[in-house]
Amino acid sequence: MGLPSSSPSPLSLRKPALPPRNMLTPKRAPASGQERQVGRKLLLVFRRNLSGYLFLLPALLVFAFFVWYPIVLGFAISFQSIDMINPPAWVGWANYHHVLTDPLFAVAWRNTVAFTFYALLFGYVIPIVLALLINEMRHGKGFFRLAFYLPVMLPPIVTVFLWRWIYNPDSGLLNALLSLVHLPGGLWLETPGSALPALMVIATWCNAGSTMLIYLAALQGVSATLYEASEIDGASIWRRLWHVTLPAIRPIMLLMLVLQVIGTMQVFTEPFTITGGGPQHATVSVLLLIYNYAFQDADFGSASALGVLLFLVLAIFAVIYMRMTNRLMQGD
């Protein structure tokens, strides 16, 4: 009898089948023709505009160095103690605590908001009225444009001396004119109740001319056919103003409103040069308080902290207002 064979069966020697190599390594999906076309278009646009980008590069570098870099540096300094003598030290939120607990903080914000309210009540309306009146004139437009724009071209120091003389309680022009009509004069810059409105008059007189020219340019873009159609319909001048002119320049009015609020919230020249923040801190603005922190107290950290707070307030206002404006424009 033959012995049974001890060699394994062919089935036991067979190795388990491995999956194909292409199943082990996932394949990258080939780029679709649309994606390749978009990439080629972007590359073509970049090559075509490369010279333009190179021309813009110096301006972008200057803008980044003189605008964005100071903003970022201001945020960093607001968390440090810097007096230009000792090395900078990280103090965290101490500068913000010092600013928020300063008694002049609330006073400065109250004066700044009041100044902005006065400027919107009078300084925002006057340039629009002047632009509408000059636009309706048939003769002398150039003279009145120059006359109202002349205060913008005056140096600030000339404006300061001029208005100090006008408001002078003893020999000023304003009190002299009031005495001619038998009205009592006043201490316009020496009284807390009248100092801030007096500064608003100066700011409006100095800046209304440039805003008026912007409105005049916007009025020139209103189509004459709209006025002709309204005249055919028998609309009066007030109806043409309300239903044709103002809706046509409303985008410019909204933009100038935002810019005026941002500008008046940063009022500095008039309080600094004319009243110095007085009398009795009645004209201390937020920007003047920042100046006092930096250049009188040598506390650059607190000055930067207050500047950051002002920046955040204006940024929040601008974002909210622009969202409301976009919704209003979409509704039209």
Q: How would DSSP label each residue in 68-114? A: IHHHHHHHHHTTEE--SSSPPEE-TTHHHHHHHT-HHHHHHHHHHHH
Q: How confident is the prediction along the chain (332 residues), in pLDDT tens digits per residue?
A: 444 444 444 444 455 555 555 554 555 555 566 777 777 888 888 888 888 888 889 999 998 999 889 889 999 999 998 877 788 889 989 999 999 999 999 999 999 999 999 988 888 899 999 998 898 888 888 898 989 999 999 888 889 889 999 999 888 899 999 999 988 888 999 999 999 999 999 999 998 999 999 999 998 888 878 777 877 777 777 888 888 888 888 888 888 888 888 889 999 988 999 999 989 999 999 999 999 999 998 889 999 999 999 999 998 888 887 787 777 666 55
Name 284's Cβ contacts closer than 8 Å, sequence gap at least 6: 104, 107, 108, 111, 271, 277
Q: What is the CA radius of gyration of the chain?
A: 34
State the burial class of residue 8 (Cβ atoms within 10 Å of its Cβ: 0-12, 13-18, 19+): exposed
- Say which residue the tokens 């440039």 belong to: 210
- For residue 330, what pLDDT is reported? 65
**Residues pairing with 272 in the sheet:** none
Query: Which of 215, 290, 209, 293 is CA-nearest to residue 252?
Result: 215
- For residue 11, what pLDDT is reported? 44
- For residue 2, what pLDDT is reported? 45
Rounded Cα gap, residues 44 and 38, in angstroms: 10
- For residue 33, what pLDDT is reported? 65
- For residue 137, what pLDDT is reported? 84
192-220 helix and 250-264 helix, angle to the nearest 10 degrees: 150
CA distances from 171 to 192, 194, 202, 275, 278 (A): 21, 18, 18, 18, 21
- For residue 175, what pLDDT is reported? 92
Task: Tally Cβ neighbours within 10 Å of residue 18.
Answer: 8
- For residue 28, what pLDDT is reported? 53
- Say which residue the tokens 């965290």 belong to: 92
